Amino acid sequence: MTRLASISTFAAALMFPTSAVAQVSATPPAAQKSEPEKPAAKPKTKPHTVTKKPPATEAKSSTPTPAATAAPAPDDPNVDLVYGAYQRGKYKTAFDLATVRARAGDPKAMTMLGELYANELGVRRDDAKAVEWYKRAADAGDREAMFALAMMRIAGRGAPADRLEAVKLLAAAAKLGEPKAAYNLALLYLDGQTLPQDLKRAAELLRMAADAGSPEAQYALATFYKEGTGVEKDLEKAVRLLQAAALADNVDAEVEYAIALYNGTGTPKNQPAAVALLRKAAHQNSPIAQNRLARVLVTGQGAPMDKIEGLKWHVIAKTSGKGDLFLDEAFAQLSPEDRAKVEDAARRWLNVK
């Protein structure tokens, strides 16, 4: 029986883009070639930064900028009105309310001002002022501000880049339980450039962020457990983490969890559930999921055979660079009429996605 294959090599190189705040990303090594029957899934490690897109602003900006950090959560009744205005997209109102409270010494309001200045929400973008307010909030012990300021330091916004200071801020925020800080600090320990490589410490930080509900950290830690990187190899723990991340709509985790379910690796085999997850990830434009789903549908192993639908997904996956010799041969064996159906279905999907 055909098995779906995956590669779980964890990313080992970091990039620090200077064009946006709060973007620490890991670049995985090039995927190794595999036999056509067992194409390899390549997990990616992404920065755990903003997870929600802010609502429409009162005044639109011609140059939108990614948020430096999630807005401060309303755990302090003094900032409920500020946070509520932010959530409704009333950024100018949030700015006015936050200014009054920040001047009175409210750290959460200071963090909000940093957020608004950093991302041109309700006010002109001003990185220097964003750094000033984030620093004041960080000095007052606000962990969100520490994380945001660390990302500003990495990106070199508002002041020259300073990764060592960023590390100190990430460590302080992680110690206070900030999952985004723990996740990004783990990447630095994994990378081994800014900090000496320490896989065990990276795993500890990923566990901290995963326990706090970070899907990115759950996915990354699952990779550690699959490979025995920094932790003892444990496929069952890996699958539980993949399941948690998949439930939070992490697409890479959906694909890896689907493969585990399909093969019964670290979990009871459940091919119908696996195929459902592959369909979901395929519709979320994952080339790997599209490729795996194509193989399932073309071979009829795990789902009713449907070569037209399966090869449609193959053609779509190829547009993202996910080729497959086995599926190329299956496509070539179709009648001219069926090839036209496949191409038309793929074209319609690509035009509306």
Calpha distance 43→255 (Å, rounded): 9
CB 304 within 8 A of CB 272: no
Residue 61 pLDDT: 33
SS3 27: strand
Strands (E) across the chain are located at: 13-15, 25-27
Residue 80 pLDDT: 80
Q: State how far the alpha carbon of 205 is from the alpha carbons of 180, 202, 212, 218, 221, in Å.
A: 10, 5, 11, 11, 9
Calpha distance 166→194 (Å, rounded): 10
Which stretches in the chain have pLDDT values below 50?
Answer: 1, 7-70, 78
* Helix or strand holding residue 36 (H, E): none
pLDDT in tens, 293-348: 999 999 999 999 999 999 999 999 999 999 999 999 999 999 999 999 999 999 99
Query: In 286-319, which positions are buried (b, 16+ CB within 10 angstroms) versus exposed (e)?
Result: bbbbbbbbbbbbbbeebbeeebebbbbbbbbbbe
Calpha distance 263→254 (Å, rounded): 14
Instruction: Kindly report the CATH number that applies to the domain delimited by 77-176.
Output: 1.25.40.10
SS3 14: strand
Residue 239: name the closest of 3, 1, 8 by CA: 8
Question: What DSSP assignment string belongs to 113-126?
Answer: HHHHHHHTSSS---
* Helix or strand holding residue 15 (H, E): strand 13-15
Q: How far is CA 236 from the centre of its chain?
A: 22
The separation between the first and the last C-alpha atoms of the chain, rounded to the nearest angstrom, is: 33
Cβ atoms < 10 Å from Cβ of 101: 20
pLDDT in tens, 119-167: 999 999 999 999 999 999 999 999 999 999 999 999 999 999 999 999 9
Q: How far is CA 155 from the centre of its chain?
A: 19
Residue 22 pLDDT: 33
Fold of 218-352: 1.25.40
Place of tokens 């029986």: 1
Query: Would you mind telling me the total number of residues written for the chain in this entry?
Result: 353
Give ∠ CA 50-53-55 in degrees, rounded to 5. Answer: 140
Q: Which residues contact 249 (CB under 8 A, 6 or more apart)?
A: 215
What does residue 15 show for φ and ψ, rounded to 5 degrees? Answer: -125, 145
Q: Which residues in the chain are classed under CATH 1.25.40.10?
A: 77-176, 218-352
* Helix or strand holding residue 61 (H, E): none
Residue 14 pLDDT: 32
Q: How far is CA 191 from the centre of its chain?
A: 17
